[in-house]
A and B are shown apart, each in its own frame.
Chain A
């Protein structure tokens, strides 16, 4: 690999490639969102990955799973394999630790990451990932999309950055007791949710941009939290109104006692 490889991203800083190469990124979930994310990370030059997915390619994934081909659906290729091949085709020396399971079944490798990029499909999953990221000090970047309405479909979504010592997803008004309660009440009735490639792409690209900024600081914004609302019908990404006034807010949901392996107080 020559210097020419990264010539077009020199604006990220003279040592950007070295910085990016040292960071370990966790991606739990390699579906429509995760597959976009890992492809872009590999393009940019990230070398260290911790990946999780216990699923295989199905025909219904082919409308959005980056890197999957028609034959993968026939062969039921594991999504983890698709992701590994995609990364290695761009970064042959990448160090990839891949686990064909949910991250909760083997959480220890994820703790070594500095950044976790999640494209999970439920609020409870997001809450659990955020708690793990706060416990083991990792930036958490979350993306998600949904399609509402039958007569006049509306595509919505979000990109969220939740960092230690900064407002969490609850502070930012994204995770609410009402959403979690409603989701719990719907358990077993979720069904196949509509998912398409272009919103995933928009969300994943912006999320990767946040990750690159966290590592290189190229925008000089020092952004430690973000909540961008995606309007797929208008094609816009705007900061959530719930962030108004949040810069003075101190997160009450996570403190020092939430760091490291849980310590129970004997009673």
Chain B
């Protein structure tokens, strides 16, 4: 699955290292050192962006730790094993067709700062 260079370049300012891998036919973007919105604890962590539909979510952002934020979230995905590491994700659906990768990422990070 190919994503335009312009889209992947847009992700780079948000993290210290960006890479990609496929697993079981599904693409994952690895964002090492992703800076999280203000009010999050920790402020920086690793994340995986899955830009395709998986497990009832049109896209999903997984985190290397359970992040504390302004609003309590339902961390309904714990220790999901992807890329031989364990990841966490909270329940947050990002709808909308044709989002760029950066738009998708921002929409997921809104989950930390938007009440609902």
What residues of chain A have their CB less than 8 Å away from a CB belonging to chain B? 102, 104-105, 107, 124, 127-128, 130-132, 134-135, 170, 177, 180-185, 187-188, 252-254, 257-258, 261-267
Contacts of A262 in B (CB 8 A): 21, 23, 83-84
Question: Could you give, for residues 48-85 of chain B, a 1 whenever the CB lies within 8 Å of some chain A CB and a 0 otherwise?
Answer: 00000111110000000000000000001101110110
The smallest C-beta distance from B58 to any residue of chain A, in angstroms, reads 11
How many B residues touch A, CB cutoff 8 Å? 28
Q: Which residues of B contact A104 (CB under 8 A)?
A: 79, 81, 86
Assess whether A185 is in contact with B56, with CB atoms less than 8 Å apart: yes
A132 adjacent to B81 (CB under 8 Å): yes
Main secondary structure of the interface of B (DSSP, over half): strand
Number of A-B pairs, beta carbon distance below 8 Å: 74
5 contacts between A and B (CB under 8 A): A128-B80, A184-B55, A262-B21, A262-B23, A266-B18
Do B57 and A184 touch (CB < 8 A)?
yes
- B25/A252 in contact, CB under 8 A: yes
Tell me the bound Cα distance from A41 to B57 in angstroms: 40
B62 to chain A, nearest CB (A): 13
Partner of B20, one of A131, A252, A253, A265: A265
Is the Cβ of A131 less than 8 Å from the Cβ of B81?
A: yes
Q: A180-B56, A187-B76 are in contact. Are A131 and B23 (CB under 8 A)?
A: yes
Closest 3 interchain pairs by CB?
A264-B19, A181-B56, A184-B55
B38 at the interface (CB under 8 A from A): no
**Which of A188, A253, A261, A264 is within 8 Å of B24, CB to CB?**
A253
Min C-beta distance of A225 to chain B, whole Å: 16
- Collect the chain A residues with CB atoms within 8 Å of residue B83's CB: 262, 264
- Chain A residues with CB under 8 Å of B81's CB are 104, 107, 128, 131-132
Chain B residues in contact with chain A, CB under 8 A?
8-9, 11-12, 17-25, 29-30, 53-57, 76-77, 79-81, 83-84, 86
* Consensus secondary structure, chain A interface: helix
A264 CB contacts on chain B under 8 angstroms: 19-21, 30, 83
Q: Which residue of A lies closest to B79 (CB)?
A: A104
Q: In the complex, what distance in Å separates the CA atom of A105 from the CA atom of B84?
A: 10
Looking at the assembled complex, report how far the CB atom of B5 sits from the nearest CB atom of chain A, in whole angstroms: 8
Question: Could you say which of A124, A184, A261, A267 has the most chain B C-beta atoms within 10 Å of its C-beta?
Answer: A267
- What residues on B are CB-neighbors of A131 within 8 Å? 23-24, 81
Chain B CB count within 10 A is highest, among A105, A170, A187, for A187
Cβ of B56 and Cβ of A258 under 8 Å apart? no
Contact A266 B79 (CB under 8 A): no
